[in-house]
Chains A and B, each alone.
Chain A
Amino acid sequence: MPLQQNLRTIDSDNSAATFGPASYSAAPPAYPHRSWPDAVAFREAVQHPEVTFSDPALKRAEVSLDRRGLPVAYSGRFAIVFRLNGEGEQKWAARCFTSGTEEEERRARYFLIARYMEELGDFAVPFRYLDQGIFVNGEWFPVLTMPWVSAPPMGRFVEKNLDKPEALRRLCGTLSALLGKLEETGISHGDWQHDNLLVAEGGTSVTLVDYDGVYVPEFAGRLSPEAGHPNYQHPQRGAEDFGPGQDRFSCLVIQAALLALSHDPSLWSRFSDGESLLFKRSDLAAPSASPLFYALRELAERSKDPVLADTLACLEDACYSAVGSTLPPVVPATEIVAPQTAMATPPSAAPAALTPLAATPPWYATSLSGKKWWQEGEVTLSSASGHTAYRVTAPPKEVFAYIERLTHPEVLTEENKNLWQARVIVPLIVSLTVLSLFWILRKAHFFPFYIFFWLFNLGNIGYAKWPRRKIYDELSAEIKKMQRLIEERKQRLSNRRAALGMSGTLQDFVADRLRKKSLQNTMSPPYNASLDTLHLLRAAGIDNALQLLNRSAVPGVPSHDMASLTRWVQTLEMEAQSEYRRLGGSPQAMTAEMSRLQDEISEFERHVAQLSREKEAFPNCSFGAYCRRLIGRPEPGTVSGRP
């Protein structure tokens, strides 16, 4: 397919939506409502790279397979990534998009983003967006290709280097440098998190991946295409918070966690659950109520580390302030020395018909025109007011569901009804009671029991049925239920811990069981050891099954007795082994189960903490408050603006 020769360079002031020539031969195919393949269809397609990909380098590559012979996949929210092993040691990433909505918009965004990514150097991976990149079900679909970076993601790096505080602190400095570079370039990544930062060279090299949420100056005034990982973002960040400096907050979150871990690695097992470094959204939403913030403040004081203390203060301050007002990081940026490892020649991304010219150009350049790939296409961003073009979900704020229920129309009506009934019926019953008592005093023939009935009604209609109190009771019951569940989980966890404690491995477990079996047990059928034999064994220092294990003979013990004793030990050994398997198979399985329980406990505890905060914020429900409502007096100390 011949490239147009009339390409022109972009004017520097042409920063508006459109650049490049209008006639681009590889213009995106216009299929507004074509059916888009799902992740499974892409996984089936990449099993044959030679036919599915258009890029010659990818065509020659083999897709990485897992142990079941299926392609290894990394799922994101909008895309699925496959790893391809090219010639030599070169590996490629092929990113396939799993949704076809906003295809045009996405294409335009990647064209613009690519220009800036080049300026980031080693902090980012050069990529190419191919409109006709992958052939699925008889149609071409776009693909983003880039060299595969084999460095581990930050989450795994931290886990591996918990015992190397200097590596964690080095990473802090590198992150500051990365942030500085991004801000200097005027862009932001938007989704710094454990899976999107790849860390190498002992923490001195960081590479950003996943550019779905990147901001570049051309996007000014638009909405963010995604909100970022909630455990790393400002609790109030919404779709309109899209601009430079967006990564400051996540940088602080990560640095605070890294600095704290460099002092106390045990924080990792206490607070991390694989979906965060340490901080969760709930911690960031309410730093004053967060056990993590409490632990870290204490740690900062104990370790007398001013950098940690300042970072923590900075983060806490940022949590309470507006989204855009986060301060730059406290940790000084380390100077980055470019690693000397040259990147292997990337695939020539020129259309298949072109034969490579004499000198192999960098793969993001086009051989004929000498221009970068993103300069040749025509991209048009839809108008900035096209808000529907971006699908955004703002991270939810802390909601007090029970308190919110108080303002529901049906609760309000019910409350009004309750109050009016009480206002009418209470005086009525009181006056009837007084009249009845008066009547009894006059002619005391019998006691009018109906007074009790009235009084019962009084209780039933009024305070006991007050909707606010009922909601409060539900809230209390919920807290009790959650606490019961936490107790139950803790019980299970301690059981597991006990089981694991005495059974580091299968051998330990069996040995422990055998040690607990006294020789006394052998005196009963079917073993029928004699008392004499037992005495002889005791004399030889053998008191339990473990000591008998692997002893073929004991002086003085007849051989038939010895045989039956050996049988006894073997039976016990088998029983212990099967019990071990029943308990969870391997120590690994048990540890996994325990960490799941631990995660659940902390999740439940967070929920209880939130409910307790809600309980504290709940308006007064005492009888006094009810009486004040009855006579229409304003309540002291309640949330204003509520009826």
Chain B
Amino acid sequence: MPYSAEINRAKPTAFFFLIDQSGSMDDPWGLDGAKRKCDAVADAINRLLSTLVLRCAKGEDVRDYFQVGVLGYGGAVRTGFGGVLQGRQFIPISEVADHPLRVEQRTRKEEDGAGGLIERTIRFPVWFEANANGSTPMTAAIEEAHQAVRAWCELYPLSYPPAVINISDGEPTDGRPLSAAERLRSIGTNDGKVLFFNIHISGSNKRSVEFPDSQVGLPDEFAQMLFEMSSVLPPRLIAEARREGFGASEGSRGFAFNADLRSLIQFLDIGTRTAELR
């Protein structure tokens, strides 16, 4: 049965994120426009990295069940981690946990449970910085992910297959990435093919579409292309998506169109769920 390999330290799995850092990510997100898109995406990725670290945390030590890579594309393709981790493709999660760029103090207004609001500072580790300029070389990014993930799969042939997650808000400027995406989806481990997810985030307030199972209802050619690029969800993830309240069915693809921040975070969470961890 594919997508069922046990994950342990000898058989880790990997996550690879492709993040659009083109100029359009500088626009405000949503109607209130409080946040730039690139800031929101950076927050979501930092939060997800925290989630992944916590899934492996056993007290002070973080067990290396995962390896993580981040690639940004805006003008050119470059690795997304900074500091000590810069320039490396797949980084064991324990090293990720040890080397955030910084731990920020963020202030939040929250309800105090008695009808009032209180302000609290919360420590928030940051690995990935927001960035927005240049064109959208998505095809080149997918090509590079393909190279990296293929090398990884050769190293870990028995592992739960890696997931590649692409977050973008616009059309690629370097040609159609369909064939690159197909090459990426064709590689895999003994346990199954690579899972390729695509998230399109929008500036508009149109209705969002998550985990669609056909192209019907997708507004334009670009959405249809992203749909075609995405992997069909394995049964376990369909069940997970349903549990989170998404209307996923057999044949649903790992694709979200016009996602808002909430569904972006949920989508990332579902996309990185794997066979059970101990």
Instruction: List residues of chain A with CB under 8 Å of any chain B CB.
Output: 33, 38-40, 43-44, 47-48, 51, 66, 68-70, 72-75, 77, 80, 101, 135, 137-138, 140, 195, 229-230, 273-275, 393, 396, 399, 478, 481-482, 485, 596, 599-600, 602-604, 607
Contacts and interface: CB of A to CB of B under 8 A. Distances in A.
14 contacts: A33-B245, A39-B54, A66-B60, A69-B123, A70-B123, A73-B54, A75-B57, A101-B243, A138-B110, A229-B278, A273-B9, A274-B63, A399-B1, A603-B11
Contacts, number: 88
B173 interface: no
B209 interface: no
Contact of B10 (A72, A74, A230, A596): A596
A230 to B, nearest CB: 7
Nearest to B49: A40
Interface string B88-102: 000000000010100
Contacts of B157: 481-482, 485
A391 B47 CA distance: 27
A39 B55 contact: yes
A75 B8 contact: no
A478 B157 CA distance: 11
A77 B56 CA distance: 10
Residue among B11, B56, B269 with the highest chain A CB neighbour number at 10 A: B11
A40 B158 contact: no
B58 A596 contact: no
Given A38-B269, A39-B55, 20 more contacts: A38-B51, A40-B51, A68-B100, A72-B59, A72-B60, A73-B54, A75-B57, A75-B58, A77-B277, A80-B54, A137-B110, A230-B6, A274-B9, A596-B9, A596-B10, A599-B9, A602-B10, A603-B10, A603-B11, A607-B158
A138 B57 CA distance: 26
Interface of B: 1, 4, 6, 8-11, 47, 50-51, 54-60, 63, 98, 100, 103, 110-113, 118, 120, 122-125, 157-158, 190, 243, 245, 269, 276-278
B10 A600 contact: yes
A68 B158 contact: no
A74 B59 contact: yes
Contacts of B11: 600, 603
A68 B60 CA distance: 11
B59 A70 contact: no
Nearest to A47: B122
B100 A39 contact: no
A275 B8 contact: yes
B9 A77 contact: no
Residue among B9, B54, B125, B276 with the highest chain A CB neighbour number at 10 A: B54
A385 to B, nearest CB: 22
Residue among A38, A137, A230 with the highest chain B CB neighbour number at 10 A: A38
Contacts of B1: 396, 399
Given A72-B60, A600-B10, A603-B10, A40 B50 contact: yes
B278 A275 contact: yes
Contacts of B4: 396
A137 B8 CA distance: 33
Contacts of B111: 138
B54 A273 contact: no
A495 B24 CA distance: 49
Given A38-B51, A70-B103, A51 B112 contact: yes
B276 A393 contact: yes
Contacts of A135: 113
Contact of A40 (B47, B110, B245): B47
A77 B278 contact: yes
Contacts of A68: 98, 100, 103, 125
